[in-house]
Amino acid sequence: MKRMTRAERLTMVHGTVTGIVTEPGYAGSVAGVPRLCIPPLHLADGPGGVGDLISGVTQLPAPVALAATWDPGLARRYGAVVGAEARGKGIGVALAPTVNIVRDPRWGRAFESLGEDPYLTSTIATPVIEGIQSQRVIAQVKHLAAYNQETNRDTAADDAIVDERALREIYLPAFDAAVHRAHVGSVMCAYSTVNGVPACANQVLLTDVLKREWRFPGFVTSDWYADLPGTSAAAAGLDMQMPDNCMFGPALDAAITAGRVSGARLDDMVRRILTVMFATGIVDHPSRGTIGDDVRTAAHRTLAREVAAEGTVLLRNEHALLPFDPTRVRSIAVVGAAGADSFHVGGGSATVLSNEVVSPLQGIQERAGASVRVTSSLGTDPGRAAALAASADVAVVMVGRADAESHDHTALDLDRAANRLVDAVAAANPNTVVVLDTGSAVVTPWLDRVGAVLEAWYPGQEDGHALAAVLFGDVNPSGKLPVTFPASLADVPAATAAQWPGTTGNGVAYSEGLQVGYRGYDARDVTPQFAFGSGLSYTTFAFRRLQVTRSTSTGRVKVGVDVTNTGGRAGADVVQLYVGYPSSAGEPPRQLRAFRRIRLAPGHRARVNLQLDASALSHWDSRRRRSTASAGDYEIFVGDASNHLPVHATTRLTRTRPGTRAPSPSAPPAAAGGDASDRQRCPADGAFAMANGVLSTPVTP
Ligand code: BGC
């Protein structure tokens, strides 16, 4: 740094792009300093593999499918594939993972998130980040914070009016885990405005919480073309502007000269970026990869298939229709557009290309072999599809819904044609399996009329292989829902217009507070169609002998439980532990605080030990501005779904235990330096979204 000129320092804190890019290429780049051997730093999407229309990469299942595996080991391998392919392409920063909470299943980017629960999101995001960074690539966890909708995004109308307790307990924990547990190198701030201050110029979020309280040593990058209030963003804690220099660059230079932003702040920005680059190995071991290199491998493909299969959730299975019995299933009708050209990837910056997608039809044909007759129809004519289904032993109807960045859904329904198709096929053949390819929850009006339902999410390029493995029972479906599927839109916790997507002049009222996802259904006693954490299996499990012990010195709680595979097949189950708090804590009825995925042979039993540290019993005390564990009885529920918790026990905390103290309330961002009036004319994110529109529907090259 000593040898860097001010111009070089200024160049290090912004992207090199001019105008709006739509060609395949890095999403952004920072120029290197060749005379000091500092290489350029390339940034690219995204959470489900290498995005940005770059080819020669593996199209992994969407992150929501990874979350549905509830398997941190798979998440670590998933992250390592993202990292390895990014590095192979010369990318220094992978813009991943997306850890925003699914506050509402209408969110267009729900597919690239890890679901509605902060603990599940943290537990999956941590190994993803470790996996990425194990490949000498910096992970950039995104988007800090309270970025939960596309409607009005990057405008003042998308102003999350959210209290500190909800931020601390629901929207920030995954970022906290990324910093403290995964040691993430960088953070992307969000398009959203939080309590009146744009997230990327929000001193409370970027400096007070992230950098001071959490001691985050890395750098914060703006979301692309985020509408920022001038150089005050730098003073508030933003370290790098992307993808161009419209906000920093000459304006920041002038602000420093005029004393509105300190030179020390610029040095801090540069130090943070360089430190992470050195620590990750980008300077000592620069990637030799280029954007044109083919970085796919057989191992990456295998991982893609494994995640797709393990993340598939069995939602219904009447009369054990699945797995297909080879002695009885001699013919299969595969119906629906998704059968041939499935909804295998979401849209927007998280889109990952592939030219080797295995369609469901291909996968089923391959697995069924020559002795089974496989017929197919795109399903555009429900009558024809029904006739085809009637002439087969079983019908597989593939229906989906396209999620994409820049758009929210207004409802939870599949389109009318898809629902009509399911109805027609189910009426023709009771042995109908519906396969959903959706990014989040949808409603299933035909549920009682179909034999089986699988949620396959956006399964990526190994779609057909993974689906066939589940249909034929080579893989026991062990995925569990990372989001609640409501019975109707009226039941979602953010059901009013004031809550979603907000009303003019009032922002978005996060008035449901902590009651997000299953917390909200439990609190209001609303029965969802499919509960968070649920998912059927081809085998069955029993839970017995729960034992709970709490160490009075450390506050740690140890929980042991016997899990037995009581069915006839090998399979995995996810042992889930939910805590119920004493009423004085004011918490939702039950919250996920630990889980373990366990594979058992039929008839086998295992003792599963889980541990809760003291923070698992804490809540955010808004008055004292710190976390606290209230004295009282804590209920420990264990089972394999948020609505199936067959064993429980109580542990008592005899006195209230204080947690860490938050820094005192901070000064308003405008007072922190910089200038809100020096904003430059930047291309609006709206224009970027339009340019990005080529990506906003699933791409099948
Ligand atoms: C998205 C980010 C993404 C960036 C770069 C933005 O539209 O919100 O998640 O990383 O574009 O493509």
Q: Which tens digit of pLDDT belongs to each residue from 386-430?
A: 999 999 999 999 999 999 999 999 999 999 999 999 999 999 999
DSSP for 3-50 reads T--HHHHHHHTB----S---SSS-SEEE--BGGGTBPPEEEEE-TTSS
Q: What is the pLDDT of residues 346-372, one digit of tens each?
A: 999 999 999 999 999 999 999 999 999
3-state SS, residue 666: coil
pLDDT of residue 622 exceeding 70: yes
Residue 324 clears pLDDT 60, i.e. is over it? yes
Average pLDDT over residues 646-653: 96
Ligand 1 pocket test, candidate residues 17, 20, 23, 45, most atoms within 8 A of CB: 45
Q: Whose CA is nearest to atom 8 of ligand 1?
A: 223
Residues labelled as active-site residues: 223
Residue 645 Cβ inside 6 Å of ligand 1? The answer reads: no
Handedness of CA 489, 491, 493, 497 (dihedral sign): positive
Whether residue 142 has its Cβ less than 6 Å from ligand 1: yes
Q: Is the CB of 27 under 6 A from ligand 1?
A: yes
Q: What is the pLDDT of residues 24-36, one digit of tens each?
A: 689 999 999 999 9
Q: Among candidates 333, 431, 442, 410, which has minimal Cα distance to 379? A: 333
- How do 41-45 and 28-30 pair as beta strands? antiparallel
For ligand 1, atom 12, name the residue with the nearest CA: 349
pLDDT digits (tens, 9 = 90+) for 533-586: 999 999 999 999 999 999 888 889 999 999 999 999 999 999 999 999 999 999
| Burial class of 7 by CB neighbour count within 10 A (0 to 12, 13 to 18, 19+) | exposed
Q: Ligand 1 mean position to 657 CA, how many Å?
A: 41
CA-to-CA dists, residue 370 to 250, 358, 397, 516, 620, angstroms = 68, 18, 21, 49, 61
pLDDT band per the 50, 70, 90 thresholds, residue 619: very high
> Which is more confidently placed, 112 or 655?
112
Q: How far is the CA of 91 from the centre of ligand 1 (A)?
A: 15
Q: Is the peptide bond before 250 cis (omega within 30 degrees of 0)?
A: no
pLDDT band at residue 674 under the 50/70/90 scheme: low
Peptide bond into 344 cis (omega under 30): no
Instruction: Give the orientation angle of helix 263-280 with respect to helix 250-257, to 10 degrees.
Output: 130
Residue written as token pair 């594979």: 599
CB-side exposure of 39: number of CA atoms within 13 Å? 19
**Residues 655, 574: Cα–Cα separation, whole Å:** 33
The response to whether residue 349 sits with its C-beta less than 6 Å from ligand 1 reads yes
- Averaged confidence pLDDT in the chain: 92
Q: How far apart are CA 627 and CA 339, in angstroms?
A: 50
| Ligand 1 center from residue 677 Cα (angstroms) | 26
pLDDT of residue 602: 97
Mean per-residue pLDDT, 681-700: 45
Q: What is the pLDDT of residue 643?
A: 98
571 CA distance to ligand 1 middle (Å): 38
The pLDDT confidence band at residue 668, using thresholds 50, 70 and 90, is very low
The model's confidence at residue 18, banded by pLDDT at 50, 70 and 90, is low
| Residue 205: pLDDT over 50 | yes
pLDDT score recorded for residue 665: 40
DSSP secondary structure string for all residues of 104-145: STT-TTGGGS--S-HHHHHHHHHHHHHHHHTTT-EEEEEEES
Q: What is the pLDDT of residue 693?
A: 37
pLDDT in tens, 195-204: 999 999 999 9
3-state secondary structure of 616: helix
Q: What whole-number distance in Å separates Cα of residue 45 and Cα of residue 54?
A: 10
223 lines ligand 1 (CB under 6 A): yes
Q: What is the 3-state secondary structure (H, E, C) of 138-178?
A: EEEEEEECCCCCCCCCCCCCCEEECCHHHHHHHHCHHHHHH
Q: What is the pLDDT of residue 301?
A: 98
CB 160 within 8 A of CB 109: no
pLDDT at 237 > cutoff 80: yes
CA 147–ligand 1 middle distance (angstroms): 12
Q: Which residue's C-alpha comes closest to atom 4 of ligand 1?
A: 224
Task: Ligand 1, residue 46: give the atom nearest the CA.
Answer: 10
- What pLDDT shows up at residue 614? 81
* Per-residue pLDDT, 21: 56
